[in-house]
Amino acid sequence: MRGNLNRENREIRSATGKYPVRAANRPAGKAAMNADRKSDESIVLPTQANNAGTEPAAESVEERDSAKMSTSQHDRPRTSSRTKRRSRGLLGVRETARDCPALKFENLLHHINVPLLHEAFDDLKKSAAAGIDEVTWQQYEQDREASIEALHGRIHRGAYRAKPSKRIYIPKADGRQRPIGITALEDKIVQKATGWVMQCIYEQDFLGFSYGGRPGRGAHDALDALCVGVSSKKVNWILDADVKGFFDNVDHQWLMKFIEHRISDKRILRLIGKWLRAGVSEDGEWSKTTVGTPQGAVISPLLANIYLHYVLDLWIDHWRRQRGRKDVVVVRYVDDFVIGFESKADAEMCLEALRERFGKFGLELHPEKTRLLEFGRYAIERRSERGDGRPETFDFLGFTHRCDTSPKTGWFMIRRETIASRMARTLSAIKAELRRRRHQSVGQQGRWLGSVVRGWLAYYAVPGNVSRLRRFRDEVSRLWLRTLCRRSQRHRWPWPRMKRLLLTYLPHAKVRHPYPDQRFRARIKAGAV
């Protein structure tokens, strides 16, 4: 029997290099030995570690091979389940929101840290008006380190309190007054930091035809998308819609429900609720706000996009896929949107359904400014056949859009011109400011006028608008000449001298933007749309 056992052991040893271990047949207190006279780790219990380095061994008598190694080894976790997951910051939030569209984020407040608050403070406009606290950017800069540390502590303790917005009014195109809410400086900092965190989530959810209040999607991107959509699709009718008092009629309960679709962090929700309920201060009197968001607050464009994403964007995208019989083009810039239709029946049906949809969420289409008009590549021909004259125009983002044909090719094109009333208001404001600056030197006036004209051209210098650009520059030149002549009753400015001044200070009126299809196609190729 012993000979057979020894023969079996030799065969196993020749294959594995070790004797087989049979704990059941081993005498008590004996340890199986390897060929090199060392104990087999899988059998012998290691001795307890008395000197386990700086920290005592947590499992010094556990039956495992690694217990024989030095106890002062690298403190890397032994299993992947014990590895503490490191946060990837806002990049991780963005990737998770993209990969999990139905996920609710439960822990976001820790992303609003001191470095993010400093970055938000630096990103604020330094010349912005002060809120109800009368603290300017320069005053806060003097002790920013301690102030932001204290602000960060109040946010995470729950002791942060939003201040009311200071209400001011600016004139509108129709003669009415637009209410603007100016928030306090610390509220601007927190709103901007919170908006950056929320944008990482909602930028993955917003649809492609939504512009405004989003990074990398400005007014000219929306204008280009509208031109390309109307020109390339079979658009024959345009719904020029206007939401009546949108920022003043946003329902707080619906807004919070929409946000809770993606964010369940109670602390972030409380922050947003504090801003919505902070109220407004007008002439020293506080008034409660139950609906609306302050137009002018840092986070208002993002909240507006979230509200209209659920009220309009998802609905119209589903409607045009399921109920629209022909082509439908949509472009939205915050609360301004234009919808193009191939069929008039689709346009009328969508307009009726849109009124009903908005009524469910406390919104209303302006009865006078919302209209349906014939517009597109065949509008000129069809209206001339009926004797209706030229197609109607519509205004969108500061430009009047007209049906026209290219002088070179004769193809259909959309001509965009500066809205006449808006240019008249700008010239009137320049005239009043020149009167106030009449005592300044010619160089000071020229530098200020140059910055105004340069900024105006930076927005309105699009192809097809050259005539309005030249007219604007000529009118500014005429107003400046009249101001200089009024500085003295005897002195007159000859035109050659005035021309030298204009060449020195005022930029030339020329096109500074590419054609819509060029920029829009470039954005598609770059993956930005």
Calpha distance 449→64 (Å, rounded): 81
Total domain count, the chain = 3
User: CB within 8 A of 337, min separation 6: which ones?
Assistant: 241, 312, 330, 331
Residues 286 and 160 placed together within one structural domain of the fold: yes
Contact assessment for residue 90 and residue 111, using Cβ atoms and an 8 Å cutoff? yes
Place of tokens 């060929």: 35
CB atoms within 10 A of CB 238: 27
- Residue 141, sorted as left (phi over 0), alpha (psi -120 to 50) or beta, turns out to be alpha
Which uninterrupted H or E stretch holds 404?
A: strand 399-405
The verdict on residue 473 lying in a domain is yes
Residues 276 and 196 placed together within one structural domain of the fold: yes
Residues 327 and 442 placed together within one structural domain of the fold: no
The verdict on residue 1 lying in a domain is no
Of 82, 103, 76, 81, residue with least CA distance to 92: 103
Residues 494 and 405 placed together within one structural domain of the fold: no
Residues 358 and 476 placed together within one structural domain of the fold: no
The angle formed by the CA atoms of residues 335, 338 and 344, to the nearest 5 degrees, is 140
Q: Are strands 165-171 and 280-282 parallel, antiparallel or unpaired?
A: parallel
Residues 399 and 432 placed together within one structural domain of the fold: no
Identity at 29, one-letter amino acid code: G
Contact assessment for residue 226 and residue 70, using Cβ atoms and an 8 Å cutoff? no
Residues 209 and 295 placed together within one structural domain of the fold: yes
Which residue segment(s) compose the domain that 196 sits in?
A: 89-216+246-302
Using N-to-C axis directions, what is the helix angle for 466-485 and 442-460, rounded to 10°? 160
Contact assessment for residue 329 and residue 340, using Cβ atoms and an 8 Å cutoff? yes
- Give the pair of three-digit tokens for residue 72: 């002062």
Residues 236 and 331 placed together within one structural domain of the fold: yes
Identity at 457, one-letter amino acid code: L
Calpha distance 244→267 (Å, rounded): 32
Residues 233 and 334 placed together within one structural domain of the fold: yes
pLDDT averaged over 10-residue windows placed end to end, the chain, 529 residues:
48 43 40 40 41 36 37 39 52 92 93 95 89 90 94 94 86 73 92 95 94 91 93 92 90 95 95 91 78 86 95 95 90 94 94 95 91 92 88 94 87 93 94 93 94 95 94 95 82 82 93 87 60
Contact assessment for residue 438 and residue 483, using Cβ atoms and an 8 Å cutoff? yes
The verdict on residue 68 lying in a domain is no
Of 96, 116, 110, residue with least CA distance to 267: 110
User: What is the model's pLDDT at position 175?
Assistant: 67
Residues 183 and 283 placed together within one structural domain of the fold: yes
The verdict on residue 18 lying in a domain is no
> Looking at residue 363, which CATH number applies to its domain?
3.30.70
Residues 346 and 457 placed together within one structural domain of the fold: no
User: CB within 8 A of 106, min separation 6: which ones?
Assistant: 264, 265
User: What is the model's pLDDT at position 65?
Assistant: 41
The verdict on residue 43 lying in a domain is no
The verdict on residue 79 lying in a domain is no
Q: Which residues pair with 39 in a beta bridge?
A: 33
Place of tokens 């606290």: 133
- Give the pair of three-digit tokens for residue 368: 């006078």
User: What is the model's pLDDT at position 283?
Assistant: 74
Is the pTM here over 0.85, yes or no?
no
DSSP H helical ranges for 17-168? 89-99, 114-123, 137-141, 144-157
The verdict on residue 273 lying in a domain is yes
DSSP state of 82: G
Residues 294 and 348 placed together within one structural domain of the fold: no
The verdict on residue 128 lying in a domain is yes
